[in-house]
Structure 1
Amino acid sequence: MIDEIQKNIEQYDTIIILRHQNPDPDAIGSQTALATMIREAYPQKNVYITGIDLPVLDWIGNMQNVSPETYQNSLVIAVDTANARRIDNNGEYKTAAKIVKIDHHPNVDPFGDVNWVDETFSSCAEMIYTLIEKISTFKLSKKSAYSLYSGIIGDTNRFLYAETTYQTLNIAAQLAKTGIDISEISLHEDEMSSHVARLEAYILDNFKVTDSGFGYIIIRKDTLEKFHLADGELDHVVPLIGRINSVNNWIVVSEKDLNRFRVNLRSKNVSINGVAEKFGGGGHPLASGAYVCSMNDVHALMDDMDNLNKQKENI
């Protein structure tokens, strides 16, 4: 599979690297690192990274504007994206000559002409690092290492999550060996604005926990607007409820538009991606997301999350 990816990278003069909507450090870290690796190995190629620019993650890398015409006769590589409808693109990518998918989520939608999907990796950034080990023309520079380390600690929550393995730590050590400032990266991922801090206080004051250990908070649009969050800042608060020792799984529901709710699902040990998929979303067993369009669906999803814990208690 990696040999096929290498052949495609060598074949095309124009390469466009995409990632999912509402990007996280792993999405942007994988995207920018891969672009850096290709540019350094093949300086004659035109390599672009694109998607909505998220200021809170600009410290990892900035996006570029790509015209619709550029996609024609190009190679598109989509990283960290489980299904086609989550690609942060208006559909221009469909005119590309070839599409490669590199992802570590369950392979619910093999939308690429070439699909390298492996759930054993803690992050897509780990997969991108593996390309350096397998493709002789790729070298590890400080610039690509910075992006990859950002992605790995982003998706593992600084090695907190169960997906962290010996391989994860070994790769992180190799990245740190380049001389990147790992403390600076961790501080970037840990810091928050005063707006986020006030939202965390609101959540801690208003979240609920059921008898089964299901925690939840529903933040309606009028309430969310009071915190004046920048795009992407809401993601900082998603792990918060899980720090409570009586919580086993939890959701953060935010009303993005009138009756359009983003639901972030998390769990400590009960698989929740099946619930996300039932409501049109998806993700990892312990970290998933979905969008729903009514409070009835929100409450139905909440019932399913609560029932997961009850079912575990009866095993």
Structure 2
Amino acid sequence: MIDEIQKDIEQYQKIIILRHQNPDPDAVGSQIGLKTMLQEAYPTKQIYATGIDLAVLDWIGQMDQISADTYQDSLVIAVDTANAPRIDNNGDYLKASKIIKIDHHPNVDSFGEINWVDESFSSCAEMIYTLADKLEPLHVSQETAFSLYSGIVGDTNRFLYGETDYRTLKISAKLAKTGIDISQVALHEDEMSLQVARLEAYILNNFQVTTSGFGYIIIRKAAFDKFNLADGELDHAVPLIGRINTVNNWIVVSEKEPHHFRVNLRSKNVAINGIAEKFGGGGHPLASGVYVGSMDEVNDLIKDMDNLNKNI
């Protein structure tokens, strides 16, 4: 399959790299890392990475602004995106001649003509490194390494999550060997704005834990608006409840718009992606997400998450 990806990369003069909505460091790191890698290997090709720019992730790289016509006769590579509705694009990508999907989430939607999906990888950035490791003339420069290392550190939560294994650490060491400033990446991943600090204080003062070990916080719009968060900043606070030793799984519910609830689901050991899929979302077994349209659905989701622990 990797050989097929290389054939398409060599065939197309225009390559556009996409990722999922509400991007995290892995999504942007995979995008920018792949873009840089391809530009260095094929300097005469037109290579773009597109999507909404988030100020909190500008330290990894910024997105290109392209017209709808650019997608004509192009190859689209969607990274770190489980299903087509989550692609951060208004549908222009459908004008492309071919679509390749590279992802490490459960394969619920094979939306590409080529779908390289492997859940054993800790991050999509790790997959992009593997692409370069196996194919000539691709190579990993220091600039590429910075983006990919940022993606790996982000999706493993600085090597905390269970998907971290020997391969993850070996690839990370090879990226570090290029001379990137790994402490700079760690500082970017760890630092927070004053608004996020106040949000975390609010969460710690208001979250609930059931007797089964399920923790949750519901941040209604009136409260959410007070924090004046930049896009993407909420994600920094999602792991917080899981640091409590009596919490086994948890959710962060945020109502940015009236009756439009974003739910981040997390777990330490019991799979929660089935619940996310039940409500129209998806993700990893221990990290998933979904949007729901009412408090009734939020309450039903809370009950399901609580019951998971009771059935262990």
- For Structure 1 versus Structure 2, the TM-score category normalised by the shorter chain is over 0.9
Matched, 1:127 2:127: yes
Runs of at least 5 residues in structure 2 that lack an aligned partner in the other structure: none
AA aligned opposite 1:155: D
Displacement of 1:302 after TM fit? 0.5
Matched, 1:161 2:161: yes
Q: Is the 8 A contact 2:224 2:254 kept in 1?
A: yes
Aligned to 2:198: 198
Displacement of 1:37 after TM fit? 0.5
Q: Is the 8 A contact 2:106 2:119 kept in 1?
A: yes
Alpha-carbon distance between aligned partners in 1 of 2:217 and 2:295, rounded to the nearest angstrom: 13
Aligned to 1:303: 303
SS at match of 1:217: strand
Q: Is the 8 A contact 2:225 2:256 kept in 1?
A: no
Matched, 1:207 2:204: no
For 1:161-240, what aligned pairs fall within 5 Å after superposition? 161-240=161-240
**What is the Cα-based RMSD across aligned positions, in Å?**
0.4
Alpha-carbon distance between aligned partners in 1 of 2:103 and 2:86, rounded to the nearest angstrom: 13
Q: Is the 8 A contact 2:196 2:236 kept in 1?
A: yes
Q: What are the superposed Cα offsets for residues 34-76 of structure 1, whole Å, 9 maximum, x if unpaired?
A: 0000000000000000000000000000001110000010000
Alpha-carbon distance between aligned partners in 1 of 2:177 and 2:193, rounded to the nearest angstrom: 31
Displacement of 1:139 after TM fit? 1.0
Aligned to 2:31: 31
AA aligned opposite 2:13: D
Alpha-carbon distance between aligned partners in 1 of 2:254 and 2:131, rounded to the nearest angstrom: 37
Runs of at least 5 residues in structure 1 that lack an aligned partner in the other structure: none
Alpha-carbon distance between aligned partners in 2 of 1:155 and 1:87, rounded to the nearest angstrom: 18
Q: What are the superposed Cα offsets for residues 264-314 of structure 1, whole Å, 9 maximum, x if unpaired?
A: 0000000000000000000000000000000000000000000000000xx
Matched, 1:47 2:47: yes
TM-score under structure 1 length normalisation: 0.99
SS at match of 1:100: strand
Aligned to 1:140: 140
SS at match of 1:211: coil
| Count of residue pairs the alignment pairs up | 312
Aligned to 1:88: 88
Alpha-carbon distance between aligned partners in 1 of 2:279 and 2:257, rounded to the nearest angstrom: 18
Q: What are the superposed Cα offsets for residues 206-259 of structure 1, whole Å, 9 maximum, x if unpaired?
A: 000000000000000110110111000000000000000000000000002110
Alpha-carbon distance between aligned partners in 2 of 1:226 and 1:205, rounded to the nearest angstrom: 15
SS at match of 1:251: strand
SS at match of 2:311: helix
AA aligned opposite 1:261: F
Displacement of 1:133 after TM fit? 1.1
Q: Is the 8 A contact 2:80 2:124 kept in 1?
A: yes
SS at match of 2:211: coil
Alpha-carbon distance between aligned partners in 2 of 1:57 and 1:229, rounded to the nearest angstrom: 14
Report % sequence identity: 74
AA aligned opposite 1:238: V
